[in-house]
Every structure is written in C-alpha cells, then in structure tokens.
Structure 1
C-alpha cells in the first residue's frame, strides 16, 4: 500500500508539472494586480508604476487600475517613462481605456508614445500586461485633473527647465520614486535633483496630496549638504552651475528664537536622567538641555517607555509647520529617538494626537538614525496650538532628544497653509474658512464705498434742484391755463388744451429758451428740436 500510494503521488506531481509547462502564458500569469508597483492615488492626482520600477518588471503579470477625478473635469495623463520589451505589443504592452477611446497599446518602438494624453472624461483604466521577456523597466505615469494643466511627472528635474522662475503641479506619490536629490531647504537643491521629490523633502507639498510648487533658479554653490527630511534622505552634492529654491510661505522661523528665547520653565518632561560622570560628578540631562540652539548634552529620560514625553509651552497659540530633531549630540552617548508622535492642545482643552492627512490614525514621524545628524519633519496641515508634546515611540539605547519648532505667529500666517480638504464652507457666504482661523472682524469701508458716498453727495442736491425746477414749471403752466380760460378760448379745438410745449415757427425770435435734443432709432430721421417756453412768451409764441 505504501509503495502504490507513493507511486500515485509521483504520477500526480509529474502530471501537474507537465500541465504547468504546457499551459498558455495567460494561465501561468499571476493574479490580477501582481504587475502593479508604486501607486499613490488621491482625488485630484496620482502616480502609477509597474512592479519593480525602475528595475525589470516580472514575467506573466497583469496590472489593472481604474483612476478617477471629480465629475465635470477632464483627465490629464503624462507618461514619464515607458520601456517595455516587445516589438508587436502582443504580450507586453500598456493601454489606457476610457469610455469612448482606447489609447495604445504602447510598447517597444512600434509607435511613438505621447508624452501627454488629455481625455474627454473624468476616469480611465490603466492596463499593463507582461509576458515572457528579458529586460525592461515597465512604465511610470502621473495624472491630474484639468485644473492642473501644468502637471509634471515625478521624473522631471530642475535642469529640464530654462526659465529662472516657474510654477508647476506635482502629482501625489513622488516620494518613493527612484532618483537622487542633493541639498536642503536652507541652502537650496542642486539643479540635477528631481523637482517633486525635492518639494516633498522641503515640506512644500505632502506626498499623499501633491500640489503646486513655485521654483526660483539661482547660481550654484560649491557644495550641497544632504539631510533626512520628511522621510527622504538627500545626498551631499558637488559644484553645479545652478541650484533651485522654493518660494517661502513666510512661516518657517524658529519658534524658540523668533520672539525671544522661551524660558526654561516652559519646557518640561515626564522624567530626566541623572548621570554620574567618571569623576563622580552628577550630570543632569534635564529638559532645558533639549533646545537645539543650546550646546552640550540633550534631554534624556530616566525611563525607557512609551509614556515618556517632552512638553513645550509656546506662551500663546502659534502655527507650527515643522520640527527639527537630533539625538544626544555626544559621541560617547549614542542615544537618539527613532520614531515619535505629536500631541498638542490649547488652554483648557484636552490633548489631541496629530493624525495622518488621509487617515484617522496617529502620524508616526521618522526621527534620527544616529546621535548627531539633524532631521526635519513638516506638519501638513500645520499644528495650531500653544502646547505640544513629543512622545518617543522607538529609540536607540536611551530616549534622548534636542528639538527646534518651526512656524510663526497666527497673524503672520497666510491662506496658503490651509489646503481645501481641511476647509469648510461658511454658512453665510459659502467661502471656505479654516477651522483654526475663525476671526470676527468689523467691516472696513473700501475705496468703492468712499466713492459712492462722494457721488451721493453730488447727485442728491442735483436731483432735488431738478424736482424743484419741474414743480415750478407745473405751477407756471397751471397759471397760464387759468389766465387763458378767463380771456376766451382759441378758435381751434386744439387750442383749448394747448399745454406748455409747442413747436415754434422759425421767424419768431426765441427768448430765454432751453434747447433739448431727442435721439431716434432711425438714423435717417433728423433730430427734432424743442424749446422750453417761458412765461414771458406764453401769450404769443404758440403755433395753432
């Protein structure tokens, strides 16, 4: 029995192997979606790439993704890169399908690949299919709504642009695309750096959302210093002819130095470590050592737990757009915080945890990877609060931290800090109002209002004068009628009710008359001239 059972199992395995080898490629393909790589999709833009991009995409896979933007807008697609090993697009190709058209298939060098495709609809299906091949990066494309005709892909670099100043729209999802950047937000970026990835590194846009960037090209520098910021590590760079910077929103000042140094009593901690030095002296790693501007050791907690925190009181509610951190800064004490979360509150309110842009989960920030290097994280949207707490989540050896908060006072902030997704419409005007910026203001007279008051002061007396003039004319007419009734009627029936206006014969000389011109729709007709007759002429200047 054992021998026959083993023989049957061997036959079944051999049959399965033969069927697998003889099966057509579409049966050998992996399940739908296995060919998809980096994909970040937001309501107004996104980025899609094949699996392993820019490495070789796998054999026998399919990637199919439906993308959609809000109704009433047109879909713009830009293909940043396409390298598919196929000459006839039979088993390796990319197609873009909308409700009315099919774009593609695209592959190899069979047909030119358009850099930009504009659809008449707000949705499309991207389909990438691979068969057997040896090489090929696959594809990378970005999309956005027709609100952003200046869309670029994640692969565009600053040296692709010749203008010294320009504005472009970065799609969501450029952070994890392969490609180097060199420099930092303070000194600028080398012109060979990827634009959108640099913008995320600088905290200008969030990777989850994308957004508009404003770029200024300047003369290059001899060296570019790389740092870790917003989850992206920029590289050190060498001399270049040009560099670029992003226009500042004005809310990136040090909050510990901008309005005078914050008192030591305004920075507290859950606990502090007391070190005994080699010579027996007591060294306090107290909270006041946590300021980044203060030389020497940092703050360090006495315990290693998730309940430890460092709290800063800014004295008043402020707009906090970022944070810079280091570890202990001491070579012999390799202490640092790897990840942390942020809590914040205002007067008489409860602590709240800063959450992700598109989720309701707490945002975990990437901290330091050694004791000395500086790391920056930006808050998009910004935190508006008086009190903040940094709560370490993971650390190396011991919790140790130096910090600097970046931001500005509320009155210095402008509307660019509030993304439409964090605004709500005003009930009275329908204008979006930020939750943290509800301010009651008194109406201020504008220039138009002042001009209206001046015109009113001129026009009203004129109108009053005209009314008095017309009233006087009516009284004069009434007096004339009364006199004529007493003196006898004219022979013509028309003369019995002549009124105050009559056409005057040319031989008569006009006395104290006022001339009016009446316009006609028919240009061939000659304007008729009428005279206002005074009481002195009333008895002898009417025509019967």
Structure 2
C-alpha cells in the first residue's frame, strides 16, 4: 500500500509539473515565443559594399511570432546608406511588429503601420543591426531593404522601374541580390526592355552586372516598341511584352559581338553521335555543327549515360580574346528533345593548363544554367570575362542526350587599326540574322527629344552598337526550320570517340 501511494503521488506530481510548464509557455511574452520560433529573415544577399534583405515570405505575408536580426556592414571609413523599397507592417503602435535599426551610438525607428518612414537613411557609421519582429497579425508584406556604402549615393532598390524616371539618360547603382526579388521584366539586351521592367533585374538579365555583387548601370530611354521578345539569360526569365510608349537600353562597352569560328578547324568534341535512319542513310551530329547560327541538327555526344560528365565541346578562337558571354541551344530538332540543362566552363592559353571558371564571390566552380528545351536560346555572361584562346563547355546535366549549339560573345583584346569589325562575327552568315535596318527600326531607335540629351558622337556610337547587335541576333523560334531529319525515327546509334 505504501509503495502504491508513493507511485500515485509521483504520477500526480509529474502531471502538475507538466501542467505548470504548459501554462508558463502559453503565458510567456510574445518576444520570448518569437525567439523560440526561429528565424524570420527572408532573402538575404550581401557583398563587400552592398546588399539586399527582406522579411520571410516577402512579398507574401510575413509569419506570426518571428524575429529577424542581421548585422550589415560596409568597409570601415565609409558611411552606410539604407533604402527601404517596401515597408508594410500591420501594427500601428510598433509594440509587437516593427522594424528597427541600431548602431553603436544611434537608433533609427522602430517603424511600423502607417507612420511616415524615410525612404533613405544616411548613417554616421559603417555597421548597423537590422531587427524585424512580428507578433500576431493578419496581413502585411514585411519589408524590403537595400544598402550600400557612401561611395554609391545613387543607390536604388530592387523594386525601381524605368518608368519611375523621366530623364532620357541616367546612371544608378544596383545593390547585390536583386535577381530573385519578385517582379517581371520584358524584352532583351539587343532590342531593349519595356519601361515597366525592374531596372536591376533587367541589368542582371542583360549581363551588365552580376547578381552576387551588383554594380553601376547606365540607362538610355528610347521610344517604345510594338512587341518585346523574352528570353532566359543569366538565370532571369524575361517575358514577352506588348506595346509601350517607352523602352530602355543599357550603355555598352561594345565587347559583346559574336566571335568568328571555323567549324571544321576550331571546334572539337570528346565524342559525337551517328545513327542510321530507316532508309539506310548516316546522320551525323558532329562538333562542326555546333555553331548556333547554322541550320540543321546540333552537335551531340556519343555517350548517353546520365552519370557521364567527361564529355566536352572545345573551341579554339585562334588567338587570345576577351570572352564576355555564351549563347546555347539544344538540338533545335523537334523529334530530338535533347539539350544541356547545366554546364561549367574551362579555359586555357598556349602552353598552359586548363583552368575552371569560378564564381566571383565564393571562388568555387561556377555552374551555369543551360537550356530548358531543345529550341530556345539561352544566354550566360561571364563577369569577369574570360581572356583565353581555348574554351571548353563541359555539360553537367542534360535531357536524354547531350546536344549543343553555341555562340561565344566578346571582342579582340587589342584589334589592329587595319582590321575591321568583320573579324568579330561568324564567318558564315545565318539565314536568321537581320540583314538590314527597316523604317520601323529607325523609328524605334530614334531618341525621345529632350533638352537634357547630351550631344556628340558618343550617342551615335551607342545606337550604332545596338544596330550591330540587332543584326547579329538569331531570329524568333518560328524561323528555325525543321529539316527532313526531324521526321525520322531513332534507330541504333554508332559512337565516334575522339582520342
């Protein structure tokens, strides 16, 4: 009986302690619950002197009872510039939901509700702690913040659009981390972007800046177009767009022309694919067919294994050149749904070893996003550029079989005075290129009249550069022919392995 009584008392005591713990948890202050519920930070990208930060789920509703706390810095001796692109916090009193900036000597905020919040803060410090706290609420996007050092007084947020500005020419600084912020862009680097597009995301798409570091952009406002063509570039998908009164272009250094190649002498591969069709004819997918402008099937590797990562396509430019980008497609044949989904780049010069192209921030092998179908071209830019004679494209993942067409973009390092621009384009003219500028093009490229528009030859050079780029652009998908090969079945393959 005594043992039974003791056991009953022990059980009752345990029950009381459990109930007490539950009551303490329920009655705990909201800030304590928030600390226990974890991180309330969302998208964060930081670099040496700029970055972007959002609340969790932005631009969706931020979660209940969370805390986001992050210390951001710029180089010592510089002042911090903070710009709030968006602030939508439900609380009107800042008691449980607020955004606060704290330095070693000052405090800015808390901010919440409908109070007037400065769009920009110039701090007398190079370091500040950002704290966002949420309690119970129903709605609210939270916040989007960008920052930079005082070296960049023209800092903008990731949410700025070209139609926010009236000048026909201006320069702004984009922070690191704008690529994955929600918001659309329409258009491309050759013909321009619809003025409703996000400026910094469009600059990443155009290859003007790298998302990891941000940078300065130069913008030219021009007369709009009837239609904008979208394309995947640098991990950003631009959408097709409709008529607009205005569009914008980015100023260019001119080093983005198509680099000439001789298919039989300058392009080699680890292997190639051959197969016999139903009529007994051999169909070759050789490396000589890897030029993007050429019609017909692409290069395809002989190895179809998904785990085989030793296949490569090598390009010899004949001399050391500055390579700023690459455009790729898949097989371009509707009956052969082959394409490379991701790849890495190697490069070398005479008498040197192959080097791997690495990321600008983490110094690790950079994997580029490739194609998502057999047809549509995808562009990736190299920031910083590759300076080399030889490059190798090494597929990492692919759909069904490695198949690739490529075009390298760039310029000569030190072109001679007697050498013309023809040396920087493909030696074989594509049927899909625009051969001349029609009247509509002239209207599109005509600048909007403005007294602020600078005069002189520089503007003419920029417009002529855009015209040259336009002439080199591959036509739309409707112009890609599907030759008779696409109507045939897939018999057994023969592998040609290069030693």
Aligned to 2:290: 290
Aligned to 1:152: 156
Q: What is the CA distance between 1:18 and its match in structure 2?
A: 4.2
Aligned to 1:320: 323
**Closer, same or farther: CA 33–27 of 1 in aligned 2, 3 Å:** closer
Aligned to 1:451: none
Aligned to 2:248: 244
Aligned to 1:81: 86
1:398 partner SS: coil
Deviations 1:295-333 (A, max 9, x none): 010000001310000000000000000000000001110
Counterpart Cα distance in 2 of 1:287 and 1:208: 34
Select 2:352's aligned residue among 342, 349, 372: 349
Counterpart Cα distance in 2 of 1:11 and 1:296: 79
Deviations 1:459-483 (A, max 9, x none): xxxxxxxxxxxxxxxxxxxxxxxxx
Aligned to 2:58: 53
Aligned to 2:375: 372
The number of residue pairs the alignment matches comes to 407
Task: Point out where structure 1 has 5 or more consecutive residues left out of the alignment.
Answer: 414-544
Deviations 1:218-276 (A, max 9, x none): 111011111110001111100000000001111000002xxxx4242210000001122
1:197 partner SS: helix
Select 1:43's aligned residue among 48, 53, 76: 48
Is contact 2:263–2:291 with CA below 8 Å preserved after alignment? no
Counterpart Cα distance in 2 of 1:224 and 1:12: 67
Q: What is the CA distance between 1:58 and its match in structure 2?
A: 0.8
Q: What is the CA distance between 1:351 and its match in structure 2?
A: 0.4
Aligned to 2:174: 170
Counterpart Cα distance in 1 of 2:146 and 2:398: 37
Select 1:199's aligned residue among 195, 199, 203: 203
**Closer, same or farther: CA 370–11 of 1 in aligned 2, 3 Å:** farther
Select 2:406's aligned residue among 392, 403, 406: 403
Is contact 1:73–1:121 with CA below 8 Å preserved after alignment? yes
Q: What is the CA distance between 1:26 and its match in structure 2?
A: 2.1
**Closer, same or farther: CA 12–396 of 1 in aligned 2, 3 Å:** farther
1:136 partner SS: coil
Counterpart Cα distance in 2 of 1:8 and 1:232: 61
Task: Return the TM-score normalized by structure 1.
Answer: 0.72
Deviations 1:148-193 (A, max 9, x none): 1111000000000000000000011100100000011011100000
Aligned to 1:22: 27
Is contact 1:31–1:62 with CA below 8 Å preserved after alignment? no
Higher RCO (CA < 8 A, seq sep 6+): 2
Counterpart Cα distance in 1 of 2:332 and 2:11: 66
Counterpart Cα distance in 2 of 1:112 and 1:411: 55
**Closer, same or farther: CA 71–295 of 1 in aligned 2, 3 Å:** same
Counterpart Cα distance in 2 of 1:145 and 1:345: 36
Counterpart Cα distance in 1 of 2:347 and 2:220: 35
Aligned to 1:133: 137
Counterpart Cα distance in 1 of 2:66 and 2:135: 7
Select 1:66's aligned residue among 53, 65, 71: 71
Aligned to 2:186: 182
Aligned to 1:338: 341
2:343 partner SS: strand
**Closer, same or farther: CA 135–412 of 1 in aligned 2, 3 Å:** farther
1:20 partner SS: helix
**Closer, same or farther: CA 332–15 of 1 in aligned 2, 3 Å:** farther
Aligned to 1:426: none
Q: What is the CA distance between 1:361 and its match in structure 2?
A: 1.1
Aligned to 2:271: 271
Aligned to 1:116: 120
Is contact 1:33–1:64 with CA below 8 Å preserved after alignment? no
**Closer, same or farther: CA 329–14 of 1 in aligned 2, 3 Å:** farther
Counterpart Cα distance in 1 of 2:236 and 2:410: 21
Counterpart Cα distance in 1 of 2:256 and 2:144: 34
2:32 partner SS: helix
Greater gyration radius: 1
Q: What is the CA distance between 1:10 and its match in structure 2?
A: 7.9
Deviations 1:180-209 (A, max 9, x none): 000110111000000000000000000111
1:29 partner SS: helix
Deviations 1:63-95 (A, max 9, x none): 111111111111111111000010100010001
2:227 partner SS: coil
Does 1:213 find its partner at 2:214?
no
Is contact 1:322–1:406 with CA below 8 Å preserved after alignment? yes
Is contact 1:251–1:412 with CA below 8 Å preserved after alignment? no
**Closer, same or farther: CA 281–17 of 1 in aligned 2, 3 Å:** farther
Q: What is the CA distance between 1:25 and its match in structure 2?
A: 1.4
Q: What is the CA distance between 1:216 and its match in structure 2?
A: 0.3
Q: What is the CA distance between 1:120 and its match in structure 2?
A: 1.2
Q: What is the CA distance between 1:11 and its match in structure 2?
A: 7.5
Aligned to 2:107: 102
Counterpart Cα distance in 2 of 1:38 and 1:172: 11
**Closer, same or farther: CA 229–11 of 1 in aligned 2, 3 Å:** farther
